[in-house]
Chains A and B, each alone.
Chain A
Amino acid sequence: MIPSSFEYHRPASVSEALQLLQQYGEEAKIMSGGHSLLPSLKLRLSEPGHLIDISRISDLSYIREEGGVIAIGACSTHNAIGKSALVQEKIPMISQAALAIGDVQVRNRGTLGGSIAHADPAADWPASILASEAEIVVAGANGTRNIAAGDFFTGIFMTALEENEIITEIRIPIPPANTHSAYLKFPQPASRFALVGCAVMITRSNGSVERARVAFTGVSPSAFRDNAVEEAITGQAVNADSIKAAADKAAEGVDIMSDHYASQDYRKHLAKVYAKRALMAASN
């Protein structure tokens, strides 16, 4: 399968990329890792006249600590993030989510910025981006703005990105001490996308949960924070009973997807099971 013809551009900077976007408008498409875009170009689901390859812009690929935040350049690959010692030490859930994606070949090319821009309802990243309360830094013709993760994912393949905006950075707050985190998924056996993925972050003091963040991907058309589970575990001592009681509240009252991989009932069941397992994993 061969994509339709297009002109290829490789800007050296974000401002050059933004200019190209302005110039070509609807004809243009940004490419980062190309691991969602190229498959769709090959199927001709998308036929842009201009492809703007931002993957070589050197100041979009980095992972660094900046005063209480881990700042990740949008074009950092899943593998670079998953293997980063800084990420593994400070927020293990983020590393686990990165390494849960697809296979090693996909992780060597696909990028964090590309994945969240694409907003596949079964993508792994959105759960831990929500649970970590990350901020998404976006550049556009009128400068840059920061979007809270909670406002970013708006629907199936839909985000708060405006036309002609580029994600440049993802900023993940380093959680307080006594915080443990985990990301666990039930992979769709063929594609390895998440049928259900659950990200959990728990901060404890004096043995009980002071703060909990729980988010799901794969369950509903858009990834979401599950406040009912968070509230149920907050203030509790962490043990098998409190975890089970909290996990049983998972995915209540949300629009649950149903497809030929999994029915609504089965997805809801998996959500409870993975909430339990992720809470357990984050309690050690």
Chain B
Amino acid sequence: MGIPINVKVNGKEYSQEVEPRQLLVDFLRETLRLTGTHVGCDTSGCGACTILVDGNAVKSCTLLAVQVDGAEVTTIEGLSKNGDHPLQEGFKEEHGLQCGYCTPGMIMAAADLLTNNPNPSEQEIRHALEGNICRCTGYHNIVKSIQYAADKMQGKEVSHG
């Protein structure tokens, strides 16, 4: 039995019927066709499915779609209009990705961090990424990418590569 939900995703209002057991990540990927949010583990461990719900980073494989009724959701597709958010630019400039599988989740977790702590130390960045796993990069360039974005968002000069 479907139940109605109203949810704002990336600025757009949706009124939809969902099956109560539908996972939020499946609602995003399959119903709304927002496939930028990835599923790595499906067991709350890897962070690839990280999105923002009312501004807070959460793992969308561990929420039901019905739980975001009335909430505001932001996925990687909604972070910027043209893919030019300072975090997206940072990951490009600092080579923060290889295969890219973990990247949307990394960026959304970093977005939560920079909202709460605009000028994080390296240690604070690493701590904030505890819930996100990358099998390619060794994390070093991911940390640099986030430092780049933090600098840029504070109007500091950014060094390239």
CB distance from A22 to the nearest CB of B (A): 21
B63-A109 in contact (CB<8A): yes
Decide yes or no whether B104 CB sits under 8 A from chain A.
no
Decide yes or no whether A240 CB sits under 8 A from chain B.
no
B62-A38 in contact (CB<8A): yes
Decide yes or no whether B112 CB sits under 8 A from chain A.
yes
A35-B20 in contact (CB<8A): no
Binds A, one of B50-58, B74-82, B149-157: B50-58
> Given the complex of chains A and B, what is the CA–CA distance between A55 and B58 in angstroms?
15
Which of B45, B47, B109, B113 neighbours the largest number of chain A CB atoms within 10 Å of its CB?
B45
Binary contact readout B9-24 vs A (1 if CB under 8 angstroms, 0 otherwise): 0000000000111110
Decide yes or no whether A144 CB sits under 8 A from chain B.
no
Decide yes or no whether B99 CB sits under 8 A from chain A.
no
Given the known inter-chain contacts A102-B131, A104-B112, A105-B58, please indicate yes or no for A2 contacting B67, CB distance below 8 A.
Answer: no
A-B contact count (CB 8 A): 77
Binary contact readout A33-66 vs B (1 if CB under 8 angstroms, 0 otherwise): 0110011011000000001010100000000000
> Given the complex of chains A and B, what is the CA–CA distance between A109 and B60 in angstroms?
11
On chain B, the number of residues with a Cβ less than 8 Å from chain A's Cβ atoms is 32
B20-A51 in contact (CB<8A): yes
Instruction: Give the B-binding residues of A (Cβ under 8 A).
Output: 1-8, 10, 34-35, 38-39, 41-42, 51, 53, 55, 79, 102-106, 108-109, 190-192
In the complex, residue of chain A having the shortest beta-carbon distance to the beta carbon of B105 = A105
> Given the complex of chains A and B, what is the CA–CA distance between A267 and B92 in angstroms?
44
A6-B20 in contact (CB<8A): yes
> Given the complex of chains A and B, what is the CA–CA distance between A140 and B14 in angstroms?
37
A8-B58 in contact (CB<8A): no
Task: Choose from A5, A8, A34, A106 the contact partner of B131 (Cβ within 8 Å).
Answer: A106
CB distance from A17 to the nearest CB of B (A): 16
A55-B44 in contact (CB<8A): no
Q: 11 other contacts beyond A2-B26, A35-B62, A103-B132, with CB at 8 A cut-off?
A: A1-B42, A5-B19, A8-B3, A34-B67, A38-B62, A42-B42, A105-B59, A108-B53, A108-B58, A109-B58, A109-B59
Instruction: Give the A-binding residues of B (Cβ under 8 A).
Output: 1, 3, 19-23, 26, 42-45, 47, 50, 53, 56-59, 62-64, 66-67, 69, 109, 112-113, 128, 130-132
In the complex, residue of chain A having the shortest beta-carbon distance to the beta carbon of B47 = A105
In the complex, residue of chain A having the shortest beta-carbon distance to the beta carbon of B22 = A2
Contacting residues, chain A, for B43 (C-beta < 8 A): 1, 39, 42
> Given the complex of chains A and B, what is the CA–CA distance between A105 and B128 in angstroms?
9
CB distance from B28 to the nearest CB of A (A): 15
A38-B109 in contact (CB<8A): no
> Given the complex of chains A and B, what is the CA–CA distance between A105 and B47 in angstroms?
8
CB distance from B31 to the nearest CB of A (A): 14
CB distance from B61 to the nearest CB of A (A): 8
A190-B42 in contact (CB<8A): no
> Given the complex of chains A and B, what is the CA–CA distance between A103 and B67 in angstroms?
20
A109-B62 in contact (CB<8A): yes
Contacting residues, chain B, for A190 (C-beta < 8 A): 45
Task: Choose from B19, B21, B23, B109 the contact partner of A105 (Cβ within 8 Å).
Answer: B109
Contacting residues, chain A, for B128 (C-beta < 8 A): 104
> Given the complex of chains A and B, what is the CA–CA distance between A163 and B160 in angstroms?
60
> Given the complex of chains A and B, what is the CA–CA distance between A190 and B133 in angstroms?
10
Task: Choose from B21, B63, B132 the contact partner of A6 (Cβ within 8 Å).
Answer: B21
Given the known inter-chain contacts A104-B112, A108-B58, please indicate yes or no for A3 contacting B67, CB distance below 8 A.
Answer: no
Task: Choose from A103, A108, A109 the contact partner of B47 (Cβ within 8 Å).
Answer: A103
Contacting residues, chain A, for B42 (C-beta < 8 A): 1, 42
Contacting residues, chain B, for A10 (C-beta < 8 A): 66, 69
| List of 6 A-B pairs having minimum Cβ-Cβ separation, nearest first | A103-B131, A8-B20, A103-B130, A108-B56, A3-B21, A105-B131
| Interchain Cβ contacts under 8 Å between A and B, 8 examples | A7-B1, A34-B63, A39-B43, A41-B21, A55-B67, A102-B131, A104-B128, A105-B47
